[in-house]
Amino acid sequence: MTLDWFDRVSAELQDNLESICEKYDQIGHMSIDKGAKHPRIEFFVETEELDREYFCTLFFDPFNNEFYIESYDLDLDLTSRTILEDIEDIIDVVHESFHDFMNDDEDDYVVVDEYDSDDVHEEDKYYLDDEEEDDDYETLDVEWETPEVTAYIDDEEALEITYKFGVIQETGDGILQRINRVRTEDDDLIKDEFNFIFSKDEASTIIAMIASHMDSIKSLDTDY
């Protein structure tokens, strides 16, 4: 059993999709869940209310080392799998699913080109001083090197934590962004973003400190 093929596809998929589809580049997102029995890559867009609307899910069978998608036949009441042999097949399936989904209704999705004080989510900008109540934000131009990677999901608490890594173009510093999404009892989505900026000189020290104290860190599932 190996995840080498899963990791290779995950690393290349986002860049390939952005390069062949301008529309996906503007509003398409992907998240990675390696903790499941069959790891998966999910693709989604966000509505004006910041709800996630998923349009495609890729599953990976680590025992057979292959990607597949699932479809449900209402007439036969059966779930079927379509095996995707190579990355070209995978890209085609996601690309086609995206356009099929967007053709249904494009009015609910927002493409953000520049900052608007009424927008909660901005894909390509990082804003400092999140606790400031005015609109006087300092913006940094960030090139995101990875998609959002799912670090933790708690279905019972309706909590999802994701991370992504980028590079600040002006300074060359690294930025690690943590995004918390919580679904309330009223079905409202609360989203918090936390950003940690560090230089290349600091990175190895940070990694070493975390690795040396992993046994001291408690899991989010730990009961106190």
pLDDT, tens only, 101-129: 888 655 444 444 433 434 433 333 333 33
Taking alpha carbons only, the member of 91, 134, 99, 74 closest to residue 23 is 99
- How many other CB atoms are found less than 10 A from the CB of residue 144? 16
> What's residue 84's pLDDT?
92
Dihedral sign for Cα 214, 216, 217, 220, please.
positive
Which residues have CB under 8 Å from 48's CB, separation 6+? 108, 109, 110
Query: Can you give the pTM of this predicted structure?
Result: 0.47
Element of type H or E holding 23 = helix 22-27
User: Could you tell me which residue, 135 or 184, shows the higher pLDDT?
Assistant: 184
Dihedral sign for Cα 7, 152, 43, 50, please.
negative
**Strand pairing of 29-33 and 148-154?**
parallel
